[in-house]
Amino acid sequence: MDPGIIRKLDEVVVNRIAAGEIIQRPANALKEMIENSLDAKATSIQITVKAGGLRSLQIQDNGTGIRREDLEIVCERFTTSKLQSFDDLSSISTYGFRGEALASISHVAHLTIVTKTKKEKCGFKACYEDGKLKGDIKPIAGNQGTQITVDELFYNVPMRKQALKTPNEEFQRISDVVSKYAVHNPQASFILKKFGETASIRTQVKSTVAHNISTIYGSAIGKALIPVDMQDDVLQLTVEGYVTNVNFSLKKGISLMFINHRAVECSALKKAIDAIYALYLPKGNAPFVYLALELNPQNVDVNVHPTKHEVHFLHEEEIVEKVKLLVERALLGGNAARSYTQALLPGVSQPLNSTKANESMVGGDEKARLDYKFVRTSHSEQKLDKFFNISGNTGDITVKQEPQEEKVLEPKLTQPSPSRKKKILKRETRLHSIHTLRQQVESDGDENLRKIFRELTYVGTIDREQVLIQYDTKMYLSKTQPLAEELFYQLLLFNFGNFERLTFTEPLDLARLVQVGLADPKSGYTEEDGPVDELTQAIVEKLVSKAPVLREYYNLSIREDGYLESLPKLLDNYIPSIVFLPMYIIRLATDVEWDEEQECFRTFSRETAHFFSRIALTKPEKEYRWELEHVLYPAVRNYLIPPKEFTKNGCLLQLASLPELYRVFERC
């Protein structure tokens, strides 16, 4: 076999490869632009995001701006005002220095710059594509500073775009970047918002690090902060930061590390700090840590990673050990106020966890912590079921079924095992009707309820319709069916066109299903509606005619001969109750508005969500309890946008509040 011929890559290919190393997702592009704004001495930075930064990502600052004569080459590779010779790398003090950020963005997006310097009488607007100026530079009115707009990121790299997460997840990554730089740069004001919405992050100019931590990450963290600082002349090291005290913990730790003002990852330092907290915090919990290290620039190599999220520095082991001792002393100093709790279970004479640190988010201030603020929220502790002799048997629950119904519903639904599942690239729909329905869901969401459900702790199952959940110091009774119905409705909208299938082991005859459904008194069928056979045939014909739409968008497969082969899979490890399938089939034909696109998708999603949310009495108790705790409510926590009507319809009822109970019994 002859050796391959080595050829020089086309310049466009080279530049796109280089761009992919630096701009991996919208958050990377934003990080580079924020650093440029800070290098330009900006004191006000406003970021506006559309569709997680994929459709549009805009940053506006009040920095020094870009000179008119520099706009022609500003998006070419290796053009920078911060570095002149290689030796300058040893003393670099700015964020950027290679001149690749804007060039990389322009190779994978449509880039527009509007800028004005202090000396120029007007601003200038320029557009860029593949590192080159596109069209003329136009004079434009504007304030001092720079506005950069990145539209249609990865429009020419579809595989990169498909590999990204959902817009909401990408926005969370963007929010994480903004949060870090806002905390570390309290002298500047940061504003982050989605297009057309209010700001999700807003900090004030000339603020403080501690105030910004409390504003962005919550007052609970703000109250638990312990300042740390040190200076070592031998190692030429300065450390400043905040860590949380031992009375505070998170299920997922938050770590903000800066070395010479760069947000970086330092695994050795993180492991050392985690090892210290492991002595104090319950297993599986972690602290909030913000550390800013300043080293002699000559001891730091910042040019080791394209995105600059890693740096190498001299004397790493000694520096890590110094920081470890610093944090350890801070925790020991704040340990005098540490509290412990005891828990007694029914029938247990000895206290459990008598030496275990309290897990509630309580600040490390000098005020005495009140007993009613000690909250159990760990999922590893005992659940409600432990207090009762609950087995997996169904007990005396029995369900009568007609013989023909049992025969029709013999086939079971199966879902592909993980080993046989193919990875499906999520496709985003362009249908205006679906986007409108999604916007309706988002605009109708209640932020207070969303916070409750997002941070809920599952306490226990009462029955098939009700469970107990905890949020902070409050206990709630949650009604499962309306909650699950809204969850499935939203999953049908936001995963539109991307469903896997639940396949019947044997296809079901639609005609027989319809006849079983019409025989049910709840169907509302009377002889005045016409003969059963004619009505059955009309329903089957209606659904067969809509089969292509159902198969394409929902993976609900109906054969031409009137047999049902599969249903859409809405959640992993969740299979709907087939007992309600006959009525669902009838309602698809009679209650879905097939003639108008948006109403069709809305009513179909509502009917399907209603079917999926119903838990039949035929399900074994152990099975439905497991589904509620490990499938449905985790999905509610992760995906549900609770509508405002949930505050009025009794879906969520507060049963108890620990502070209120404490006031009742405090005199006992």
**Model pLDDT, residue 553:** 92
Domain spans, the chain = 11-202, 225-332, 375-380+427-497+619-667, 500-569+578-613
Helix (H, G, I), strand (E, B) or coil at 304: coil
pLDDT of residue 375: 57
Encode pLDDT of 288-329 as tens digits: 999 999 988 887 765 554 545 556 677 888 888 899 999 988
Confidence of residue 530 (pLDDT cuts 50, 70, 90): confident
Q: At what angle do helices 510-519 and 532-545 cross, to 10 degrees?
A: 130
Neighbours of 299 (CB within 10 A): 17
Q: What is the pLDDT of residue 568?
A: 93
Which of these ranges, 459-463, 512-516, 529-533, 575-579, has the smallest mean pLDDT?
A: 529-533
In the predicted structure, residue 196 carries a pLDDT above the cut 60: yes
* pLDDT value at residue 96: 46
At residue 146, does pLDDT exceed 90? yes
Query: Tell me, what amino acid is at 8?
Result: K
The pLDDT assigned to 609 comes to 94
The pTM of the whole model exceeds 0.85: no
74-106 in b/e form (b: 16+ CB < 10 A) is bbbbebbbebeeeeebeebebbbbbbbbbbbbb
Q: Is the dihedral of CA 23, 29, 32, 36 positive or negative?
A: positive
**φ, ψ at 172 (rounded to 5°):** -65, -35
Contact status, residue 193 vs residue 199, Cβ threshold 8 Å: yes
- For strands 557-558 and 563-569, give the pairing: antiparallel
- Residue 55 burial (10 A CB sphere; 0-12, 13-18, 19+): middle
Whether the per-residue pLDDT at 42 is higher than 60: the answer is: yes
In whole angstroms, what is the distance from residue 178 CA to residue 47 CA? 9
Q: What percent of the chain has pLDDT over 90?
A: 41
How far apart CA 554 and CA 552 sit, in angstroms, is 6
Closest CA to 652 of 661, 643, 660: 643
Higher-confidence position of 325 and 404: 325
Write the DSSP assignment of 596-626 as a string of letters.
Answer: SHHHHHHHHHHHHHHHHHPPPTTS-HHHHHH
Q: Could you give the CA distance from residue 139 to residue 65 in angstroms, rounded to a whole number?
A: 14
Q: Could you tell me if 207 and 186 are in contact, meaning their C-beta atoms sit under 8 angstroms apart?
A: yes
CA gap 400, 423 in Å, rounded:
41
Q: How many CA atoms lie within 13 A of 478 on its CB side?
A: 28
Sorting pLDDT into bands at 50, 70 and 90, what band is 352? very low
258 pLDDT band, cuts 50/70/90, is very high
| Mean pLDDT value of segment 81-107 | 58
User: Of 320, 651, 342, which is closest to residue 477 (Cα–Cα)?
Assistant: 651
pLDDT at residue 412 greater than cutoff 70: no
pLDDT of 78 above 80: no
80-94, 226-240, 502-516, 549-563: which has the minimum mean pLDDT? 80-94
Higher per-residue pLDDT: 587 or 300: 587
How confident is the model at residue 418, as a pLDDT? Answer: 47
| Element housing 255 (H / E) | strand 254-259
Distant-in-sequence, close-in-space partners of 434: CB < 8 Å, separation ≥ 6: 493, 496, 601
Return the pLDDT at 6: 66
Q: Please, is 279 exposed, middle or buried when counting C-beta atoms within 10 Å of its C-beta (0-12, 13-18, 19+)?
A: exposed
In the predicted model, what is the mean pLDDT of residues 38-64?
A: 93
How far is residue 508's CA from residue 609's CA, in Å, rounded to a whole number? 21
Residues 386-402: what's their mean pLDDT? 40
Q: Which residue has the tokens 């950027």?
A: 96
Q: What class, spelled out in words, does domain 11-202 have in CATH?
A: alpha beta
Asked whether 599 and 591 are in contact (CB, 8 A), the reply is: no
- The reported pLDDT for the residue numbered 602 is 95
396: pLDDT confidence band, cut at 50, 70 and 90?
Answer: very low
User: How far is 218 from 294, CA to CA, in rounded Å?
Assistant: 27
Token output for 366: 């000098």
456 pLDDT exceeds 60? yes
Of 123-137, 298-312, 401-415, the range with the lowest mean pLDDT is 401-415
Structure tokens that stand for 104 in this block: 């990389």
User: 254-259 and 199-202 as β-strands: parallel, antiparallel, unpaired?
Assistant: unpaired
The CATH number corresponding to 225-332 among 3.40.980.10, 3.30.230.10, 3.40.140.10, 3.90.1640.10 equals 3.30.230.10
- Answer with the residue of higher pLDDT: 250 or 96: 250
420-451 per-position pLDDT tens digit: 444 445 677 889 999 999 999 999 998 889 88
How high is the mean pLDDT of the chain?
A: 80
- Per-residue pLDDT band at 343 (split at 50, 70, 90): very low
Across 449-470, average pLDDT: 88
- Confidence (pLDDT) at 37: 92
pLDDT at 526 over 80: no
Least trusted range by pLDDT, from 11-25, 213-227, 489-503, 612-626: 11-25
Beta-strand relationship, 254-259 and 288-295: parallel
* Torsion on CA atoms 151, 156, 159, 163, rounded to nearest 10: -10
In the prediction, which pLDDT does 102 show?
85
With the CA atoms of 8, 9, 11 and 16 taken in that order, what torsion angle do they form, in degrees rounded to the nearest 10? Answer: -150
